[in-house]
Amino acid sequence: MVSQKLSDLNKQHGGLKIDEVSLAQLVGGMRDVQCMLWETSELDANEGIRIRGYSITELREKLPKIPNGTEPLPEALFWLMLVDEIPTAEEARFVTDQWIRRSQIPEHVYKVIDSLPIETHPMTQFSIGITSMQTQSIFTRRHQEGMNKNEYWNATYEDTMNLLAKIPRVAAYIYRRTYHDGDHIKPDLTLDWAGNFAHMLGIKDPDFKRLMRLYLTIHADHEGGNASAHTCHLVGSTLADSYLSLSASMNALAGPLHGLANQEVVSWIYKMIEILGTDTPTDEQVAEYIKSTLAGGRVVPGYGHAVLRKPDPRFLVQKKFAEDYNIKSNLIDIVWQIFRVAPPILESTGKIKNPWPNVDAHSGAILVHYGLKEFNFYTVMFGVSRSLGVLAALCWSRALGLGLERPKSVSSEWLGNYVQSKTSPSKNGKKEQVS
């Protein structure tokens, strides 16, 4: 068993150093410091994400689909993350059925969301909606009753399944409330998880259901160090239940440097169209716009990554989807044009480590094509998908009995003194070098 193996490793080799931390890493957001366990996926700087060893292309090909379907089922991805095996079509169907069975939302959740001003950002509504469902937590109830810690993973699994069953419905409720005068659409319980989400959003094109299956699969997991994953892990390490851990994770996703970038990409392109007065700009015009963004001390949204150093395979698979389904629009052309024009400009700054597009550079343009134009909602869609990965990982953290996170912090005064002590002349008159 994985947990036994981990405990043996810890007992026998607990003192083994697996990484070091430089001053630059401490100041610069702990980039690349290997200091957390995450079972479900691993990110390679050049290859991109592998979920349980499978690349994005392999997942699209190998995961079960609906009968005669073309795109992977997120339910199947969830099984893979949890069980470490690609499920059969029947096993994926089991997850779909479970989520249909558990999808009823307590009435008070709608009331809580409805009590918020209509202009509340959809991510704020989403986070509050998830928190308000915490009244249902099995983990918290059983913990108060004195649950044995060997049962933690099981109670977390139950909460996770209940929560994932409800997430698309809460998200669709927020969308219809905010942008369609509260004209809600009843779930279609004959559909799969992503298909039903597409249905409840109110977009009728069958290809949009296909897009949602792919979209909710590829945004799910990106190893443990990214802000939404790490936040879920950190909050979960306090034994906060799946609901509290996930809502915290969604608050991290709502930051512009993380999941909010997908809405920023579209608004940044629309701004360019408005300034230039055309939605078929020349390469020179796009280049000038990118340069003016950089000159204004702003980031080019959808470009760069803390770990990746090549075009994000999640960007490329969305481009492939648009090609496969013959999706054409001036907005998509601009996205591809930026893919051509931006990297050399970003590279020429000499400081941006990754001049290539990330997942957020493409998603909005396809959503606009299907009529989902309200870009303030995009991060909620990312969040529906990300819930799969962070909650599968939370189940594993509980199964492995991982401890409360509590890294050591230091003050800048301590840091200054430390550097001084390491660089001041030693007895033989030479300075000690800090590498």
Complex with ligand COA: residue 353 or 422, whichever CB lies closer: 353
Residue 46: how many CA atoms within 13 Å on its side-chain side? Answer: 0
Compare residues 202 and 343 and give the one whose CB is closer to ligand COA: 343
Tokens of 420: 């001084």
Stretch that binds ligand COA, among 142-150, 183-191, 347-355, 383-391 (CB under 6 A): 347-355
Q: Which is nearer to ligand COA, 210 or 305 (CB)?
A: 305
Does residue 283 have an active-site annotation?
Answer: no
Sheet holding 54-55, edge to edge: 41-44, 48-51, 54-55
Is 39 an interacting residue with respect to ligand COA (CB under 6 A)? no
Output the smallest distance, CB 8 to ligand COA, in A.
36
230 is catalytic: no
Is residue 301 a contact residue for ligand COA (CB under 6 A)? yes
Question: Is residue 299 close enough to count as binding ligand COA by CB under 6 A?
Answer: yes
Verify binding: residue 353, ligand COA, rule CB under 6 A: yes
Q: Based on the shown chain and the rule CB under 6 A, indicate whether residue 230 belongs to the binding site for ligand COA.
A: no
Could you tell me the CA-to-CA distances from 47 to 53, 176, 307, 316, 341 in Å, in that order? Answer: 12, 38, 11, 12, 22
CB 377 within 8 A of CB 178: yes
* Interface with ligand COA in residues 242-261 (CB under 6 A): 257-258, 261
Among residues 55 and 154, whose Cβ is nearest to ligand COA? Answer: 55
Find, among 57, 56, 98, the residue nearest to 75 by Cα: 98
Q: How crowded is the C-beta side of 335, counted as CA atoms within 13 Å?
A: 30
Q: What character string, x for contact with ligand COA (CB under 6 A) and - otherwise, covers 306-335?
A: x-----------------------------
DSSP E strand boundaries for 21-176? 41-44, 48-51, 54-55
List the one residue out of 177, 202, 207, 174 whose CA is nearest residue 187: 202
CA 330 to chain CA centroid, Å, is 27
Is residue 83 close enough to count as binding ligand COA by CB under 6 A? Answer: no
Q: Give the integer Cα–Cα distance in Å for 334 and 275.
A: 15
| Minimum distance from residue 31 beta carbon to ligand COA (Å) | 6
Closer residue to ligand COA in complex, CB, 162/354: 354
Pick the stretch among 71-79, 243-251, 348-356, 415-423 that binds ligand COA (CB under 6 A): 348-356
Q: Which is nearer to ligand COA, 140 or 337 (CB)?
A: 337
Task: Please identify which residue in 300, 335, 381, 399 interacts with ligand COA, judged by CB under 6 A.
Answer: 300
Look-up of token digits 């997991």: 221
Task: Compute how many other C-beta atoms are within 10 angstroms of the C-beta atom of residue 52.
Answer: 19
Q: Active-site residue 184, yes or no?
A: no
Q: Which is nearer to ligand COA, 215 or 303 (CB)?
A: 303
Q: Which stretch binds ligand COA (CB under 6 A): 48-56, 333-341, 356-364, 411-419?
A: 356-364
Catalytic residue among 199, 219, 360, 362: 360
CA proximity to 364, closest of 380, 352, 353 = 380
The whole-angstrom separation of Cα 360 and Cα 341 is: 17
Query: Taking the CA atoms of the chain, what radius of gyration do you get in angstroms?
Result: 23
193 near ligand COA, judged by CB under 6 A: no
d(CA 133, CA 120): 19
Q: Which residues are catalytic?
A: 258, 305, 360
Q: Which residues bind ligand COA (CB under 6 A)?
A: 257-258, 261, 294, 299-306, 351-354, 358-360
